[in-house]
């Protein structure tokens, strides 16, 4: 008999303590001197000179009940070996895990891997079943629980190494679930891989079910020689008002031998434009900067490529670089305003770099439809808006434009009798002026740091809005659906936001010049104006490349003016030439599975221009350093010292044996029954026996 929690057995000692104390306890010597015991001696009573245990059976019953309960808490179990099915009998459920990461394309690893897979299939018995699972960063079942050797081999030979990096965790989890669902007595997982160190972090949290045998089939090489490119870096500059980009590319030598005169080429739009040479020390790296070039407005495809070696997949790095497109902003002043009435606003925006802002200042009366077509953001700087202009601005916002309204003294918006396209645009109706010139000036009291406008200012010492003083502002009643993004110290809204159609509207309830506050004199003014304009333009910094395994989520294009239908479906062209439709009925995302350039194309007459996305390998896979397969086996099975031979005795863990036997339940039940019996008999005896004194 073994115990899962043997420390509880110490409680058995406690059971004997009251009995011992009872037996050794002497009578208390409280002596009362009395004149005569003549009368006391006449009273018939039983002297309690010494407490002796008179009812041993009852005491033993009580002790037995307590002992059973204590033993139940100690979780006893009978330790025994559970034999796996004999080698001569019992079908096997086999899961063949084949590593398909791009490192398997090194040398003849893939050939050896498929050969090992065929051997495993050939060793299957008539009653055995096998599943073929390919894995890289994720795992995929090619064929599940099949006994047809032909089908199994076909699933194996048609596969090729992919572009993913190695992760053993998902594959082992999938194999474990297949094994646990099998009713076969024998279950085995065969892991065929080059056992790269980068694929196993050790704390995967994977544990195969008990009784599953894990066999490792390494197909790696003791010595490897591989060089891979490094991610490129870009430096932007401007020359003659043209955007210039300098690409710096490099390579890493993962081998133990130096590489001299390695050719590295910069390709633009598929054509080699410049060739350099690198010398790499063993396990070293080097880089080189290419001549600057001007990227095309729609984007230029670039590739940095080194000479091919035993693993050619990691010898190219792709990117897309486009000329900077400034965000077009139109500032609409009120009629008759001074020329420099938007000075602070325009100067602040003109200092923008990423993105840059192309600023035009016009009178509200001169704001044309063409202006609205070209602009991404319109700023109404304390301008009264007539009904017609309000209609155009409403439509501008609905199709994706951004509108910032600085509600100064003269700002006005048609309300009474206005159409919904006009009335439901602003985040609130500007109200009366609030004068804070008497007494302390107003300050910004609460900022919504979760909003994209103020999010960069969340960290300490990243901008102090509280130092700005506000002498006047407009009271505003927020409209339905509007959010208050900033408040003054008295709780009045300072900045409100509202989504309208595909665009959004911001309302600033004070001025954006020095008329009503000194915010333009504060250092936060410039980044604050940039954040508002960037948010209104929905500007997103497009990455120059993504990594295989990431998800491509093409931005949905804005609705074309006058279009009555929803945006047309799109198609993604993969690097291998496959077409994947994003027709809007399913998710509009695509997992990048290949290295190269993906192209997102719209379909139809109104389709937006094509967008190119570069996809690169996870270059950590280029480090071919191997690990000991026993580390994976020990981590996945909990058994150190190597895999267990198929057919050997398999012992369940103590916890599993105890859980299966559940002896504690029987002991506890027996203890409770005996306690009940002891109580019953004890009560009966106390009623019939003499009074003890």
Partner 1 sequence: MGFGSRGVTKLDYAKMLAGCLTYLVHRQRDRVGLVAFDSDIVAHVPPSAKHMDVVLHTLDRLTPSAPGRLREPLHKMAEHFGRRGLLVLISDLYEEPDAVLEAVGPLRFRGSDIIVFHLLDPAELDFTFDSPSSFEDLETGEQIPVVPAALAEQYRGLVRAHIDGLTERFSGSRIDYTLVNTSAPLDHALFSYLTSRERLTRVR
Name the residues that contact partner 1, by CB under 8 A: 27-43, 45, 47-49, 691, 693
Query: CA angle 283-284-286, nearest 5°?
Result: 150
In the complex, the smallest distance separating the C-beta of residue 52 from partner 1, rounded to whole angstroms, is 14
In the complex, the smallest distance separating the C-beta of residue 76 from partner 1, rounded to whole angstroms, is 44
Tokens read off for 244: 């210039």
Residues 6+ positions from 323 with CB-CB distance below 8 Å = 243, 294, 295, 296, 297
Half-sphere exposure of 569 (CA within 13 A, CB side): 11
Strands 493-500 and 503-508: antiparallel
User: Are 207 and 177 within 8 A, CB to CB?
Assistant: no
Q: Which is nearer to partner 1, 28 or 52 (CB)?
A: 28
Q: Which is nearer to partner 1, 22 or 257 (CB)?
A: 22
In the complex, the smallest distance separating the C-beta of residue 24 from partner 1, rounded to whole angstroms, is 18
Tokens read off for 577: 């030439």
Q: Which is nearer to partner 1, 22 or 499 (CB)?
A: 22
Among the listed residues 219, 214, 237, the one whose alpha carbon sits nearest the alpha carbon of residue 96: 214
Q: Which is nearer to partner 1, 49 or 52 (CB)?
A: 49
Among the listed residues 580, 617, 579, 611, the one whose alpha carbon sits nearest the alpha carbon of residue 596: 617
Among the listed residues 129, 178, 188, 95, the one whose alpha carbon sits nearest the alpha carbon of residue 647: 188
In the complex, the smallest distance separating the C-beta of residue 51 from partner 1, rounded to whole angstroms, is 11
Q: Which is nearer to partner 1, 261 or 690 (CB)?
A: 690
Q: Is 555 helix (H, G, I), strand (E, B) or coil?
A: coil
Q: Which is nearer to partner 1, 21 or 38 (CB)?
A: 38
Distance CA 226, CA 220 (A): 13
Find out whether the peptide bond into 445 is cis, omega within 30 degrees of 0: no
Distance CA 43, CA 82 (A): 71
Sign of the alpha-carbon dihedral angle for 588, 592, 594, 600: positive
Residues 6+ positions from 53 with CB-CB distance below 8 Å = 19, 22, 23, 59
Q: Which is nearer to partner 1, 32 or 416 (CB)?
A: 32
In the complex, the smallest distance separating the C-beta of residue 19 from partner 1, rounded to whole angstroms, is 22
In the complex, the smallest distance separating the C-beta of residue 29 from partner 1, rounded to whole angstroms, is 6
In the complex, the smallest distance separating the C-beta of residue 33 from partner 1, rounded to whole angstroms, is 5
Among the listed residues 100, 164, 177, the one whose alpha carbon sits nearest the alpha carbon of residue 134: 100
Among the listed residues 640, 645, 621, the one whose alpha carbon sits nearest the alpha carbon of residue 547: 621
Backbone phi, psi, residue 668, to 5°: -65, -45
Q: Which is nearer to partner 1, 33 or 564 (CB)?
A: 33
What is the full DSSP assignment across 635-687? HHHS--SSPPPTTS-BPPPHHHHHHHH-HHHHHHHHHHHHHHHHHHHHHHHHH
Q: Which is nearer to partner 1, 40 or 460 (CB)?
A: 40
Query: CA angle 528-533-536, nearest 5°?
Result: 125
Distance CA 465, CA 184 (A): 69
In the complex, the smallest distance separating the C-beta of residue 18 from partner 1, rounded to whole angstroms, is 20
In the complex, the smallest distance separating the C-beta of residue 680 from partner 1, rounded to whole angstroms, is 27
In the complex, the smallest distance separating the C-beta of residue 692 from partner 1, rounded to whole angstroms, is 10
Strands (E), 424-569: 428-435, 444-447, 472-478, 483-488, 493-500, 503-508, 546-547, 551-552
Q: Which is nearer to partner 1, 49 or 480 (CB)?
A: 49
In the complex, the smallest distance separating the C-beta of residue 28 from partner 1, rounded to whole angstroms, is 8
Residues 6+ positions from 106 with CB-CB distance below 8 Å = 194, 221, 224, 226, 310, 311, 624
In the complex, the smallest distance separating the C-beta of residue 8 from partner 1, rounded to whole angstroms, is 38
Q: Which is nearer to partner 1, 34 or 56 (CB)?
A: 34
Q: Which is nearer to partner 1, 54 or 410 (CB)?
A: 54
Residues 6+ positions from 633 with CB-CB distance below 8 Å = 214, 216, 639, 642, 643
Q: Which is nearer to partner 1, 46 or 183 (CB)?
A: 46
In the complex, the smallest distance separating the C-beta of residue 32 from partner 1, rounded to whole angstroms, is 5
In the complex, the smallest distance separating the C-beta of residue 55 from partner 1, rounded to whole angstroms, is 20
Tokens read off for 36: 């005569």
Q: Which is nearer to partner 1, 31 or 222 (CB)?
A: 31
Q: Is 312 helix (H, G, I), strand (E, B) or coil?
A: helix
């Amino acid at each position: 008999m073994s115990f899962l929690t043997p420390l509880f057995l110490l409680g058995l000692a406690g059971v004997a303590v009251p009995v011992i104390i009872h037996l050794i306890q002497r009578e208390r010597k409280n002596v009362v001197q009395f004149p005569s015991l003549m009368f006391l001696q006449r009273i018939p009573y039983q002297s309690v000179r010494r407490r002796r245990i008179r009812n041993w059976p009852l005491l033993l019953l009580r002790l037995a009940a307590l002992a059973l309960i204590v033993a139940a808490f100690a979780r006893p179990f009978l330790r025994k070996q559970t034999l796996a099915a004999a080698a001569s009998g019992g079908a096997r459920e086999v899961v063949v895990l084949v590593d398909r990461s791009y490192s398997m394309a090194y040398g003849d690893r893939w050939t050896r891997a498929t050969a090992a897979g065929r051997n495993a299939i050939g060793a299957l018995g008539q009653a055995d079943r096998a599943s073929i699972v390919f894995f890289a960063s994720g795992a995929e079942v090619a064929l599940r629980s099949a006994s047809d050797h032909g089908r199994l081999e076909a699933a194996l030979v048609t596969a090729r190494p992919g572009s993913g990096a190695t992760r053993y965790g998902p594959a082992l989890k999938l194999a474990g679930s297949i094994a646990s669902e099998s009713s076969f007595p024998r279950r085995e997982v065969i892991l065929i891989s080059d056992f790269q160190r980068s694929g196993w972090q050790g704390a995967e949290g994977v544990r195969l079910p008990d009784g599953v045998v894990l066999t490792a089939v390494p197909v790696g090489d003791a010595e490897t020689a591989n060089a891979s490119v490094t991610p490129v870096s870009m430096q932007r500059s401007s020359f003659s008002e043209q955007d210039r980009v300098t690409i710096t590319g490099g390579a890493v030598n993962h081998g133990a031998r130096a590489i001299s005169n390695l050719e590295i080429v910069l390709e633009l739009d598929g054509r080699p434009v410049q060739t350099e040479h690198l010398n790499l020390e063993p396990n070293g790296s080097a880089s080189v900067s290419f001549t600057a070039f001007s990227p095309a407005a729609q984007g230029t495809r670039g590739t940095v490529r080194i000479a091919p070696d035993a693993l050619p997949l990691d010898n190219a790095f792709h990117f897309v670089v486009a000329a900077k497109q400034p965000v077009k902003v139109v500032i609409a002043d009120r009629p008759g305003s001074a020329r420099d009435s938007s000075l602070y606003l325009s100067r602040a925006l003109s200092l923008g770099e990423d993105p840059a802002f192309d600023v035009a200042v016009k009178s509200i009366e001169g704001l044309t439809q063409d202006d609205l077509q070209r602009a991404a953001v319109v700023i109404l700087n304390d301008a009264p808006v007539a009904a017609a202009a309000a209609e155009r601005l409403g439509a501008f916002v609905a199709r994706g434009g951004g509108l910032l309204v600085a509600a100064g003294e003269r700002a006005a918006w048609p309300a009474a009798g206005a159409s919904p396209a006009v009335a439901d645009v602003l985040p609130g109706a500007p109200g009366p002026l609030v004068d804070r010139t008497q007494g302390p000036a107003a300050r910004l009291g609460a900022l919504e740091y979760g909003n994209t406008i103020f999010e960069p200012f969340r960290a300490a010492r990243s901008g102090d809005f509280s130092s700005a003083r506000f002498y006047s502002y407009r009271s505003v009643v927020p409209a339905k659906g509007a959010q208050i993004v900033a408040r003054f110290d008295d709780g009045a809204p300072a900045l409100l936001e509202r989504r309208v159609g595909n665009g959004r509207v911001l309302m600033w309830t004070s001025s954006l010049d020095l008329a009503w506050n000194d915010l333009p004199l504060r250092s936060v003014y410039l980044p604050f104006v940039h954040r508002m304009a960037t948010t209104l333009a929905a500007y997103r910094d497009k990455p120059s490349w993504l990594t295989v395994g990431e998800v491509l989520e093409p931005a949905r294009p804005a609705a074309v003016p006058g279009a009555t239908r929803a945006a047309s479906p799109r198609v993604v062209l993969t690097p291998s030439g496959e077409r994947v439709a994003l027709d809007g009925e399913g998710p509009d995302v695509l997992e990048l599975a290949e290295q190269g350039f993906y192209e997102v194309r719209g379909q139809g007459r109104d389709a937006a221009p094509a967008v190119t996305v570069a996809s690169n390998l996870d270059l950590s896979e280029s480090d071919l350093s191997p690990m000991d397969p026993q580390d994976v086996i020990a981590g996945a099975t909990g058994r150190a010292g190597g895999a267990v031979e198929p057919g050997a005795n398999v012992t369940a863990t103590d916890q599993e044996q105890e859980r299966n036997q559940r002896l504690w339940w029987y002991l506890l039940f027996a203890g409770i029954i005996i306690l009940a019996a002891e109580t019953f008999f004890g009560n009966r005896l106390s009623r019939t026996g003499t009074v003890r004194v």
